[in-house]
């Protein structure tokens, strides 16, 4: 009896409308154990966790999940409600949507306590404040009165954790608990989870795609691929000696550096620059609070006094967390936002006249983060990729344009052999990585000198990220492109960049070559950023 697992999942199958997404998964969690469920998006890891509590909507669930001797799958909805929250609790990826925006966080936590532990309203609120204090939010009593939007992302996730732990569950399901957070905050949340786990002795099922997280946090790891559990075992064993091909692929997905390194001589001989920014400022108008806002507008400085240089054929990485102004800087460099200061691109600068900007538009192109919103769903591949030619080479006829489109698609690794009727297809038929290739092809067709890459791989799975980065590296080698690479991911910077600038709250806090900045960071913020990525 003592060896019986806390949770014993056997032959779990989940299907949505006849389409099976989890195909026979078996795993156990012992009391107090930390198991990580790893896989890429679409592998079925979140659905597995949700269906343990029958929280997956419209799902057809089969198999067994014995929690403490009773099969969760056989419980009635009423009995399950007793289990949810008190025995098994859950925290979600995005705390902004997981918390109700209309109630204070204190109220929401107190509600759980009132329901599950039949505390009086006053006692529950008192207990909620204690829980909030325990998760490391300063001024807990005041913070309990705050609404979710008044807290920072990290604090919201802490409040979610406080809520999940309110009834001292024996199993915590943590679904990508740090993915929506900034890198430096991730570490803190993970430390908090580790501390609380040690203190309460609960078991944790951590669902994640982040291998750093697994290595730091979990005892055992289970790897999922397309609904199958392909490998499980102690973290050290699996990481040191992966058995399954997919696990090996996942472990090898850290991006590799394969770029043309800068020649030592160019450092001295006053090299040319494709982008040269001096004292660039970008400000947004913001409404002022109260009646003051009726008469004038406030100003939010998104980028303050930015100076940087992008050398031809090299990559300048801009690294920072959300809200640091790095994407704003990219939009200003693209001439899509008004700015003050001097910004010279290939010797020219943006003017207010659209006609005058035309040549410069051709020289500077962009690839955005989200491959799903960056391609119009109602245009075909030919229309999307060919658009730049319509604008910049209107003299081409349809046939000439088509052959150039095909050439650009071939350069990014998409061809007719792979996709019959490629040109007539719509974006929804392509996966995230393939869409990102389409976005690169759209930018390349006008033969730009500079490519602004705004988080080009953040929305992609790790194995796909590696492929897309390799593609970008190859294109740089072949065409001598210069990249302005915006990212929050230090691994990507390490693989791609020659020079780096670090941004925080609109300021450039550190800049230099990639070796200087990443190997010997001077600024405390940079040091934290680099440390968080280890």
Partner 1 sequence: MTDSTNPSAPPSLGPSRRAWLRFKRNRLGFWSLVIFCTLVVLSLFAEVISNDKPLVVRYQGQFYYPLVNDYPETTFGGDFLTPTDYLDPFIREKINADGNWAIFPINPYGANTLNYFAKEPNPSRPTRDNWLGTDDRGRDLLAQLIYGFRLNVLFGLALTVIGVFLGVLTGAIQGFFGGKTDLFFQRFIEVWTSMPELYLLIIFSAVFAPSVSLLLILLSLFGWMGLSDYVRAEFLRNRQMDYVRAARALGVDNWRIMWRHILPNSMTPVVSFLPFRMSAAILALTSLDFLGLGVPPGTPSLGELLSQGKNSIDAWWISLSTFAVLVVTLLLLTFMGDALRDALDPRKAAQ
Alpha-carbon gap, residue 214 to 533, rounded angstroms: 13
**CB atoms near residue 150 (< 10 Å):** 12
User: Smaller CB distance to partner 1: residue 49 or 468?
Assistant: 468
Q: Write down the least CB distance from residue 42 to partner 1, Å.
A: 5
User: Smaller CB distance to partner 1: residue 187 or 335?
Assistant: 335
HSE at residue 42, side-chain half, CA atoms within 13 A, is 7
User: Smaller CB distance to partner 1: residue 208 or 434?
Assistant: 434
User: Smaller CB distance to partner 1: residue 357 or 516?
Assistant: 357
- Tell which residue, 462, 476, 464, has the closest CA to residue 434: 464
In three-state secondary structure terms, 226 is: coil
Q: Write down the least CB distance from residue 418 to partner 1, Å.
A: 5
Q: Write down the least CB distance from residue 391 to partner 1, Å.
A: 5
DSSP, residue by residue, 419-485: STTGGG--GGGS-HHHHHHHHHHHHHTT--SEEEEESTTTTS-HHHHHHHHHHHHHHHHHH--EEEE
- Tell which residue, 244, 201, 255, 202, has the closest CA to residue 222: 244
The tokens describing 5, both together, are 């697992």
User: Smaller CB distance to partner 1: residue 99 or 445?
Assistant: 445
User: Smaller CB distance to partner 1: residue 215 or 358?
Assistant: 358
Residue 473 phi, psi (nearest 5): -65, -40
For residue 207, what are the β-bridge partners? 37, 175
User: Can you list the pairs that 264-268 forms with residues at least 24 positions away whose Cβ atoms lie under 8 Å?
Assistant: 266/311
Q: Write down the least CB distance from residue 474 to partner 1, Å.
A: 16
For strand 34-38 and strand 203-208, is the pairing parallel, antiparallel, or unpaired?
Answer: parallel
Alpha-carbon gap, residue 410 to 406, rounded angstroms: 6
Contacting residues toward partner 1, per CB under 8 A:
17, 40-42, 226, 331, 334-336, 354, 357-358, 361-362, 364-366, 368-370, 373-380, 383, 387-388, 391-392, 418-422, 424-426, 428-434, 439, 442-443, 446, 452, 460-461, 463-464, 467
E-strand spans in 296-381? Answer: 297-310, 315-320, 340-345, 364-367
Q: Write down the least CB distance from residue 460 to partner 1, Å.
A: 8
Query: Is 491 exposed, middle or buried (CB count within 10 Å of its CB: 0-12, 13-18, 19+)?
Result: middle
The tokens describing 255, both together, are 């991006």
User: Smaller CB distance to partner 1: residue 140 or 230?
Assistant: 230
**CB atoms near residue 35 (< 10 Å):** 23
Q: Write down the least CB distance from residue 177 to partner 1, Å.
A: 21
Q: Write down the least CB distance from residue 297 to partner 1, Å.
A: 12
User: Smaller CB distance to partner 1: residue 335 or 521?
Assistant: 335
Q: Write down the least CB distance from residue 62 to partner 1, Å.
A: 21
Q: Write down the least CB distance from residue 48 to partner 1, Å.
A: 17
Judge contact between 499 and 314, C-beta under 8 A. Answer: yes
User: Smaller CB distance to partner 1: residue 235 or 452?
Assistant: 452
Q: Write down the least CB distance from residue 420 to partner 1, Å.
A: 6
User: Smaller CB distance to partner 1: residue 14 or 529?
Assistant: 14
Q: For residue 19, give the DSSP letter.
A: E
The tokens describing 74, both together, are 């056989």
């Amino acid at each position: 009896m003592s060896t019986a697992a806390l949770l014993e999942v056997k032959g779990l199958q989940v299907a949505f409308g006849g389409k099976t997404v989890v195909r026979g998964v078996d795993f156990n969690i012992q009391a107090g154990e930390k198991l990580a469920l790893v896989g890429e998006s679409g592998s079925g890891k979140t659905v597995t966790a949700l269906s343990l509590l029958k929280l997956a909507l419209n799902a057809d669930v089969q198999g067994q999940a014995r929690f403490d001797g009773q099969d969760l799958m056989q419980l009635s909805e009423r009995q399950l409600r007793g289990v949810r929250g008190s025995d098994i609790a859950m925290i979600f990826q995005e705390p902004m949507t997981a918390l109700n925006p209309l109630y204070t966080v204190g109220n929401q936590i107190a509600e759980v306590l009132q329901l599950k532990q039949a505390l009086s309203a006053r006692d529950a609120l008192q207990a909620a404040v204690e829980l909030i204090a325990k998760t490391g939010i300063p001024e807990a009593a005041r913070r309990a009165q705050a609404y979710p939007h008044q807290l920072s992302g990290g604090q919201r996730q802490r409040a979610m954790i406080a809520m999940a732990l309110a009834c001292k569950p024996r199993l915590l399901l943590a679904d990508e608990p740090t993915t929506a957070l900034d890198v430096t905050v991730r570490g803190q949340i993970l430390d908090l989870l580790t501390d609380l786990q040690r203190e309460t002795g609960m078991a944790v099922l951590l669902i994640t795609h982040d291998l750093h997280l697994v290595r730091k946090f979990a005892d055992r790891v289970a790897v999922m691929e397309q609904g199958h559990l392909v490998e499980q075992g102690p973290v050290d064993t699996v990481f040191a000696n992966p058995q399954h091909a997919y696990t090996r692929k996942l472990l090898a997905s850290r991006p590799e550096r394969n770029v043309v390194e800068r020649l030592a001589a160019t450092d001295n001989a006053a090299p040319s620059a494709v982008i040269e920014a001096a004292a660039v400022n970008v400000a947004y108008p913001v409404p002022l609070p109260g009646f003051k806002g009726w008469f004038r507008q406030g100003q939010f400085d998104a980028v303050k006094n930015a100076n940087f240089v992008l050398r031809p054929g090299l990559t300048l990485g801009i690294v920072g967390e959300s809200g640091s102004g790095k994407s704003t800087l990219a939009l200003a460099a693209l001439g899509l936002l008004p700015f003050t200061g001097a910004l010279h691109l290939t010797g020219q600068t943006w003017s207010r006249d659209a006609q005058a900007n035309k040549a410069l538009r051709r020289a500077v192109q962009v690839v955005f983060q989200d491959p799903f919103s960056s391609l119009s769903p109602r245009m075909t591949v030919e229309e999307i990729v060919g658009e730049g030619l319509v604008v910049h080479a209107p003299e081409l006829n349809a046939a000439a344009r088509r052959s150039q489109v095909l050439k650009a698609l071939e350069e990014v690794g998409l061809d007719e052999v792979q996709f019959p009727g490629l040109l007539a297809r719509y974006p929804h038929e392509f996966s995230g990585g393939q869409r990102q290739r389409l976005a690169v092809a759209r930018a390349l067709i006008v033969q730009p000198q500079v490519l602004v890459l705004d988080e080009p791989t953040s929305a992609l799975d790790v194995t796909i990220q590696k492929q897309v980065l390799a593609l970008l590296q190859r294109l740089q080698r072949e065409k001598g492109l210069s990249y302005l690479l915006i990212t929050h991911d230090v691994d990507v910077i390490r693989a791609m960049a020659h020079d780096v600038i670090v941004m925080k709250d609109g300021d450039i806090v550190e800049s230099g070559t990639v070796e200087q900045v990443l190997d010997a960071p001077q600024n405390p913020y940079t040091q934290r950023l680099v440390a968080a990525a280890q």
